[in-house]
Structure 1
Amino acid sequence: MSSVPIAAHALLSDCHSAALVTDAGSVDWLCFPRFDSPSVFGRLLDETAGHWSLTPTGPYEASRRYLDGTLVLETQFRTTSGVVRLTEALAMGEGNRGHELGRGSPHLLIRSVTGVSGQVALRVEYRPRPEYGLLHPLLGHADGGVTARGGAEWLVLSTPVPLDLHESTATATVTVSAGETLAFALHRSTLEETPAHVWPQRALTARLADTIEAWRSWSALHQAYDGPWRDLVRHSGRVLQALTYRPSGAIVAAPTTSLPESPGGARNWDYRYSWVRDASFTMEALWVAACPDEAGDFFAFMTTAAAGAPTPLQIMFGVGGEHDLTERTLPHLRGWRDSSPVRVGNEAWRQQQTDVYGELLAAAHRLSAQLDTVDDDVRAFLITLADTAATRWHEPDQGIWEVRGEPRHFLYSKVMCWVALDRALALLAPTVSSDHSGKWRAARDEIRATVLREGFSERVGAFTQSFGSVDLDASVLMMPIVGFLPATDPRMRATIDAVARDLVDPRGLVYRYRGADGLDGDEGTFLLCTFWLAHALALAGECERAREVFGRAAGHRNDVDLLAEEADPGTGEMLGNFPQAFSHIGLVNAAWAISEAERRAWERDHA
């Protein structure tokens, strides 16, 4: 069983794949060559599923940070005999600068140890277990390294010290003195590719320096936000970039699978895919924390992947645009803290969620300047999305939270169908006939009237989860964020207050909902929803309350400013897949909303 806290991990990325490294210097999760590839190291989900650790042999204190403007991790181990610094990264393509970040990844994990003072003895333990721990590869010595053969993987570990090999594990104890640098690296290829090889020490030092410069050049070119929480917003922009699969432009929801919403529970999902829903939120976040080029890449991926499928629109895709994401379980893995089953794939791809039309058209509208150059096929696809929203908004669905029960008339889905038509009218009306746009306008107005009539519960005094329901749902906070109703509308103000009063845990973090959803077990509070509350409060002009709520959510980041999906209601511990794109998107968008609200308030007071 793996029991290391989720918060103990830091993210490494080459914009193709990801690794999670603990504060004890252990790589406990690594998927090569894509985010959704089978893991090479999977101790995150089972102690037997592989890891690669560089850890002091005796007692130590660890501190860590990302180097400025990068996602290159630096961990400092302080012992009674000395101090060493571990710098590590998934290498970027050679010479990548600016917008080229992540192009042509070498699939190379570099880990460089430098003595800072005195001497420190480190234990090196390399235990590759490809195919989610099923394979125990044959290890062999090479000049300056260790090879691993197993399945279709060809792994070569470059090491400056000899390692002892025993039962598919390589180990050594090495003493690092002040001023000394030892560089280790894991290179991956397949039998069909150019074989992985041992890298000389000088080459690894150069590749690490080049990767640092690659990240810094991207940050310098792409990040200009200078408002409240500047460092957190810019860091979140880099996290979103790190979760981008560069070959296609897809952004994964998280780089992990099956980290639970409740320890020991069964709400364990594979998030290594790209959801259409993320599009609208990501457009706004990248507009603030990065630049429209990255948002444009994501939109191009979404339209290309989605346009190849018949309506109704599929809600999610693989990072290469794959449609079939059939879910299966891995019974040989016990899961994080015995949270089983461990799942690969995500059956939600089969669900119907009508909100996706709104998210994709909102993304297109946000990028309207770039869409001047789109071809006729993409424009026709966008028109089809609006037409489908106009005809399918009446239908029940599984909603934003992908409940696995009977379809319902979820309020959020109706609102996003309204968004689809509203944005289509703004973006596409000149390209269609007046009769066509008239139908969109009529459907938009009918949706609005229906939501206002059926979605507000007089008994609760708020907009609720679905028509006829008395259950609150945090997704209704999106109504003012997408412009359906102003946050100052009395019904909306009452809804915001109801969520802040009745849908929070004792620490003020927001649940998604509290009603039945067709699944067993409980879940934590949702950080995205807490940022939504801050965002909605800012739109209502309540900047002080918005800042307080923002601080509660942002306060649940770990020591390197990464956010999980949820927080345990009792302890505040991180839960769910990690790091979570939605949480970082929520942080960016809420910070921007608060910044803009405070600017408007200042201008009003100084007019």
Structure 2
Amino acid sequence: MSSTPIADHAFLSDRHSCALVDRGGTVVWLCFPRFDGPSVFAALLDDDAGHWSVRPEAEWTATRRYAGRSLALETTFRTAGGELQLTDALGLGPDNEGHRLGSNVPHVLVRRLECTSGEVDVLVDYRPRPEYGLIAPLLSQVDGGVAARGGADWLVLTLPAEATLEDGRARARLRLRAGDVVHLALQRSTLGDPVSAHVWSQTDLADLLDRSLASWESWSDLHQSYDGPWADLVHLSGRVLHGLSYQPSGAVVAAGTTSLPEGVGGERNWDYRYAWVRDASFTMEALWVAACPDEAEDFFGFMTTAGAGGIGPDTSLQIMFGVGGEHDLSERTLDHLRGWRDSRPVRVGNDAWNQQQVDVYGELLGAAARLADQLPALDEETRWFLAACADTAAVRWRDKDQGIWEVRGEPQHFLYSKVMCWVALDRAIALAPQLRCEHRVDEWAKVREEIADTVLEQGWNEEAGAFTQYFGSTALDASNLMLPIVGFLPADDPRMLATIDAIAERLTDERGLVFRYRTEEGVDGLAGEEGTFLLCTFWLAQALALSGQIERAREVFERAVAYVNDLGLLSEEVDAVTGEQLGNVPQAFSHIGLVNAAWAIDQAAHGR
């Protein structure tokens, strides 16, 4: 069983896949060559599912940081005999500066060991377990490293030291003295192309790591100009969101991991390594603040290609896709894995792909409107697709759905879903000249007003004194904080102020962090409880800022960012009892919320 706190993990990305590294220099999660592919290391979910550890043999203490403005991790180990710096990165290939970050990557995890003082004996423990721990590969010595063959994987570890091989595991010891620098690396190839994975020379690995650091710095120089409050956190969030995008297609994943629970020991364990229309659209909007979204054209090209085949007069847009545009994401459980702190089941795939969630049209068209300047010349297919989303919203807004929180209970008339259909039509009207759809504006405007009238009439509940989760309900839902954020109502409207206060008073824990909704209401069809939702807490800060309550907004924002880890990373939730991070990590939603709330507070403080 893995029990390392979720907040103890660092995130590496090459914009194809990601790795997680714990405080002690152990890689506990790695999927090659895609975010949603089978893992090579999954000790994050089960101690027996593979890891790669590099750490001093003697007792040590460690500190860590991201190197400069990158997603390369520097861990500094201190022992009685000396100091060791470990730098970890997923390598970026040539021509990755500026606008091309993540192109032509070699799919290599590189680790640099540098003894900065004294003398340090380093232990290397390499235990690959492909396909989520199912396969114990055959290991063999090769010149300069170790080869591992098993299943669909051919892995080559660059290791300039003698290794002991036993039971699918390689161990080695390196003695480093002040000034010594050694590089290790892991590369994967497919069975049909074993020569693409090879032992790297020390010079080539040094060049690869230096180039990767320089590429991140170059991208940050070009794209990260936000200079408001909490700038360091906003910039880090921008790099995380960029790191969660899949460069070959333009897709954006919701998180880097699967099955980290929303409640310890519970069943709310989902696979987030896919491209949700909602999450990805929100990500593109947040990058408008945190980093110039030069990938907007790629993203909308991905969405058009992935979604156009499933939208029309009688069909709904699928709400999520594989990072290559795949539609069938059928869910299954990995019963051989114990899960993080015995939180079962461990799932891969996500059956939410079959749900109807009518809010997605609003998020997608909202992103298109925000990024219109980055989309000067939409192709005919993308124009058709975005217009079809508006037309579908104009019909589907009347339907019950599973809503933003993907409930597995009965569909309802969720208020947030209705409002986002309003957003879809509102933004389509604004985009009509770009979409060449001026002739549809009158009809879109008519339906937009019909939605607004219905929401105001049926969404407000006198008993609750607030807008509520779904029509006829008295339950609160944090997603209704989005009403002023998307412009449906002014934030200082009395009904909106009442809703903000009701959520702040009745939908928070003792720390003032916001729940999505009360799980005891039973609407989601799942057993157990969950933590407070970081995105929702940032929404509260953003709504308060929009309403002119700037000091309250800052206080709420500070409550939320108090839970970033030492690197600035956030998962999905915070345990309402222990204050631990919960859920998949890093979570795009949480970093999106941080960026947008910081921006809103800065804008409000300057009267903009």
Per the normalisation by structure 2, the TM-score is 0.97
Q: CA deviation at 1:430?
A: 7.9
SS at match of 1:132: helix
Q: Is the CA contact (8 Å cut-off) linking 1:114 and 1:181 kept in structure 2?
A: yes
SS at match of 1:44: coil
Change (3 A) 1:75 1:435: closer
SS at match of 1:284: helix
For 2:170 and 2:507, locate their aligned partners in 1 and report how far apart those are by CA, in whole Å: 50
For 1:414 and 1:303, locate their aligned partners in 2 and report how far apart those are by CA, in whole Å: 23
Post-superposition Cα deviations, 1:67-86, rounded to whole Å, max 9, x if no partner, equal 11111100000111111000
Q: Is the CA contact (8 Å cut-off) linking 2:253 and 2:280 kept in structure 1?
A: no
Post-superposition Cα deviations, 1:31-83, rounded to whole Å, max 9, x if no partner, equal 00000110000100001000000122222111000011111100000111111
Q: Which residue of 1 aligns with 2:349?
A: 345
Q: CA deviation at 1:561?
A: 0.6
SS at match of 2:110: strand
Q: Which residue of 2 aligns with 1:40?
A: 40
For 2:498 and 2:230, locate their aligned partners in 1 and report how far apart those are by CA, in whole Å: 28
Q: Which residue of 2 aligns with 1:605?
A: none
For 1:356 and 1:261, locate their aligned partners in 2 and report how far apart those are by CA, in whole Å: 23
Change (3 A) 1:430 1:526: closer
Change (3 A) 1:60 1:388: same
Q: CA deviation at 1:120?
A: 1.5
More divergent stretch after superposition (23-32 vs 301-310): 301-310
Change (3 A) 1:575 1:124: same
For 2:352 and 2:161, locate their aligned partners in 1 and report how far apart those are by CA, in whole Å: 47
**Where do 1:526-541 residues align within 5 Å?**
526-541=533-548
Q: Which residue of 2 aligns with 1:218?
A: 219
Q: Which residue of 1 aligns with 2:178?
A: 178
1:483 matched to 2:483: no
**Where do 1:63-462 residues align within 5 Å?**
63-193=63-193, 194-310=195-311, 311-428=315-432, 436-462=440-466
For 1:165 and 1:181, locate their aligned partners in 2 and report how far apart those are by CA, in whole Å: 24
Change (3 A) 1:114 1:415: same
Q: CA deviation at 1:369?
A: 2.5
SS at match of 1:369: helix
Post-superposition Cα deviations, 1:15-43, rounded to whole Å, max 9, x if no partner, equal 10000000011000000000011000010
1:561 matched to 2:551: no
Match of 2:497 among 493, 496, 502: 493
Change (3 A) 1:83 1:296: same
More divergent stretch after superposition (592-601 vs 226-235): 592-601
Q: CA deviation at 1:577?
A: 0.2
Match of 2:530 among 509, 513, 523: 523
- The amino acid that maps onto 1:155 is L
Post-superposition Cα deviations, 1:336-377, rounded to whole Å, max 9, x if no partner, equal 000000000000000000001111111111122333311222
Q: Is the CA contact (8 Å cut-off) linking 2:95 and 2:103 kept in structure 1?
A: no
Change (3 A) 1:145 1:118: same
Percent identity, please.
65
- The amino acid that maps onto 2:511 is R
Q: Is the CA contact (8 Å cut-off) linking 2:285 and 2:371 kept in structure 1?
A: no
Q: Is the CA contact (8 Å cut-off) linking 2:85 and 2:113 kept in structure 1?
A: yes
SS at match of 2:96: coil
- The amino acid that maps onto 1:247 is P
Q: Which residue of 2 aligns with 1:588?
A: 595
- The amino acid that maps onto 1:466 is Y
Change (3 A) 1:199 1:394: same
For 2:304 and 2:280, locate their aligned partners in 1 and report how far apart those are by CA, in whole Å: 10
Alignment length, in residue pairs?
A: 601
Post-superposition Cα deviations, 1:526-585, rounded to whole Å, max 9, x if no partner, equal 000000000000000111111111111111110111000000001110100001011001
Q: Is the CA contact (8 Å cut-off) linking 1:564 and 1:583 kept in structure 2?
A: yes
Q: CA deviation at 1:102?
A: 0.6
SS at match of 2:185: strand
Change (3 A) 1:391 1:95: closer
- The amino acid that maps onto 1:116 is T
- The amino acid that maps onto 1:360 is L
- The amino acid that maps onto 1:382 is L
Please tell me the root mean square deviation across aligned C-alpha atoms, in Å: 1.2
For 1:295 and 1:535, locate their aligned partners in 2 and report how far apart those are by CA, in whole Å: 24
SS at match of 2:340: coil
Change (3 A) 1:306 1:434: closer
Q: CA deviation at 1:176?
A: 1.6
For 2:303 and 2:550, locate their aligned partners in 1 and report how far apart those are by CA, in whole Å: 35
For 1:46 and 1:269, locate their aligned partners in 2 and report how far apart those are by CA, in whole Å: 16
Q: CA deviation at 1:308?
A: 2.3
Instruction: Could you tell me which runs of 5 or more consecutive residues in structure 2 were left unpaired when the two chains were aligned.
Output: none
Q: CA deviation at 1:166?
A: 0.6
For 2:139 and 2:85, locate their aligned partners in 1 and report how far apart those are by CA, in whole Å: 28
Q: Is the CA contact (8 Å cut-off) linking 2:300 and 2:382 kept in structure 1?
A: no
Q: Which residue of 1 aligns with 2:558?
A: 551
More divergent stretch after superposition (367-376 vs 464-473): 367-376
**Where do 1:43-54 residues align within 5 Å?**
43-54=43-54
Q: Is the CA contact (8 Å cut-off) linking 2:304 and 2:381 kept in structure 1?
A: no
Q: Is the CA contact (8 Å cut-off) linking 1:355 and 1:416 kept in structure 2?
A: yes
For 2:217 and 2:433, locate their aligned partners in 1 and report how far apart those are by CA, in whole Å: 42
Instruction: Could you tell me which runs of 5 or more consecutive residues in structure 1 were left unpaired when the two chains were aligned.
Output: 602-607
- The amino acid that maps onto 1:296 is E
Q: CA deviation at 1:174?
A: 2.0
Q: Which residue of 2 aligns with 1:576?
A: 583
For 1:508 and 1:236, locate their aligned partners in 2 and report how far apart those are by CA, in whole Å: 22
Q: Is the CA contact (8 Å cut-off) linking 2:49 and 2:133 kept in structure 1?
A: yes
Q: Is the CA contact (8 Å cut-off) linking 2:514 and 2:537 kept in structure 1?
A: yes
SS at match of 1:293: coil
- The amino acid that maps onto 1:546 is A
- The amino acid that maps onto 2:320 is M
Q: Is the CA contact (8 Å cut-off) linking 2:500 and 2:540 kept in structure 1?
A: yes
Q: Is the CA contact (8 Å cut-off) linking 2:27 and 2:51 kept in structure 1?
A: yes
Change (3 A) 1:208 1:415: same
Change (3 A) 1:94 1:511: same
Q: Is the CA contact (8 Å cut-off) linking 1:461 and 1:494 kept in structure 2?
A: yes
Q: Is the CA contact (8 Å cut-off) linking 2:432 and 2:438 kept in structure 1?
A: no
For 2:355 and 2:190, locate their aligned partners in 1 and report how far apart those are by CA, in whole Å: 35
SS at match of 1:528: helix
Q: Which residue of 2 aligns with 1:21?
A: 21
For 2:381 and 2:564, locate their aligned partners in 1 and report how far apart those are by CA, in whole Å: 42
- The amino acid that maps onto 1:213 is A
For 1:160 and 1:150, locate their aligned partners in 2 and report how far apart those are by CA, in whole Å: 23
Q: CA deviation at 1:303?
A: 2.3
SS at match of 1:438: helix
Change (3 A) 1:88 1:431: closer
For 2:37 and 2:436, locate their aligned partners in 1 and report how far apart those are by CA, in whole Å: 43
Q: Is the CA contact (8 Å cut-off) linking 1:279 and 1:363 kept in structure 2?
A: no
For 2:332 and 2:285, locate their aligned partners in 1 and report how far apart those are by CA, in whole Å: 34
Q: Which residue of 2 aligns with 1:604?
A: none
Change (3 A) 1:434 1:581: closer
Q: Is the CA contact (8 Å cut-off) linking 1:299 and 1:363 kept in structure 2?
A: no
